[in-house]
Amino acid sequence: MRILIVEDEVKLAQALVRLVSDEQILADAVYDGEEGLHLATNVPYDAIILDRMLPGIDGIQVVERLRRAGITTPVLLLTARDSIADRVAGLNAGADDYLIKPFATEELVARIYALTRRPSEFVTDHHLEFDTLQLDLLTRTVTSGAEASVVLSPKETQILEMLIRHAGQVLTRQQLIDHVWGYETDVLEGVLDTYVHHLRRRLGSIRGPVIQTVRGVGYILKKAEPQ
């Protein structure tokens, strides 16, 4: 595995490189947003660890530009800001996860592995279908009928996987959180709702099935209404 660390605190960046190297993870470290964006655009990393506050262009802008360029490398955003608004801003920009500073090194490593975990490690049937929708868990590609395909983020893929496997069944928010983030996390329901919002837009762009909200409970995947 090879990751990119974009962190302007040089000592912290170097410490993170040493930390992940102990886990047999190769890491490149840069100290500003411009250089981070350049490497992330041109090198096929497995994950990017990105500081929220950077000189030049900040972490939010880096993520936005990467996503606009069609680069879907998983991004973990490091931030000293712990408000819900700041977390949601990072997720809306296209980050896949966030970690509040200061953090435990064990948690950082666990989140890196969670971001880069390949679907083939926990499923044998990597091709799922529902109505006109087809989801490839290995490439995270989803198509619907003759419409163009879209590539999902790792967490969007896990959410859609769960909804397809339980299509027509109402899944609670907690069930989805447990599946995507694990039982030991304290992810807020608003974070899940943000991911579902993005996933809805992606499915809408290919006229796929719809994710309906069941007020006070959770979500259900249903066939799209005939045009």
82 and 131 inside one domain:
no
Reading the block at residue 88, the tokens are 């949601």
Determine the average pLDDT of the residues in 164-175.
Answer: 86
Q: What is the pLDDT of residue 65?
A: 93
Residue 227 covered by a domain: no
Q: pLDDT tens, 27-54?
A: 999 999 999 999 998 888 889 999 999 9
Q: Comparing C-alpha atoms, which of 87, 96, 185, 189 is closest to residue 140?
A: 96
Determine the average pLDDT of the residues in 77-96.
Answer: 83
The span from the CA of 91 to the CA of 181, in Å, is: 14
Q: pTM, whole model, 2 decimals?
A: 0.60
Residue 191 covered by a domain: yes
Mean pLDDT over the full length of the chain:
85
14 and 82 inside one domain:
yes
Reading the block at residue 67, the tokens are 């996503």
Query: Which of 65, 81, 116 is the C-terminal boundary of a domain?
Result: 116
Written as one letter, the residue type at 40 is A
46 and 12 inside one domain:
yes
Residue 198 covered by a domain: yes
Q: What is the pLDDT of residue 120?
A: 38
pLDDT band at 125 (very low <50, low <70, confident <90, very high): low
Does residue 87 register a pLDDT over 70? yes
Q: Tell me how crowded residue 147 is: count the other CB atoms within 10 A of its CB.
A: 13
Query: Which of 90, 116, 142 is the C-terminal boundary of a domain?
Result: 116
Contact residues for 44 (Cβ-Cβ < 8 A; gap 6+):
73
Residue 156 covered by a domain: yes
Contact residues for 52 (Cβ-Cβ < 8 A; gap 6+):
58, 59, 60, 77, 78, 79, 80, 81, 86, 90
107 and 141 inside one domain:
no
**Domain span at residue 83?**
2-116
Does residue 177 register a pLDDT over 90? no
Q: How many domains does the chain have?
A: 2
Q: Comparing C-alpha atoms, which of 71, 75, 70, 47 is closest to residue 59?
A: 75
The span from the CA of 96 to the CA of 84, in Å, is: 15
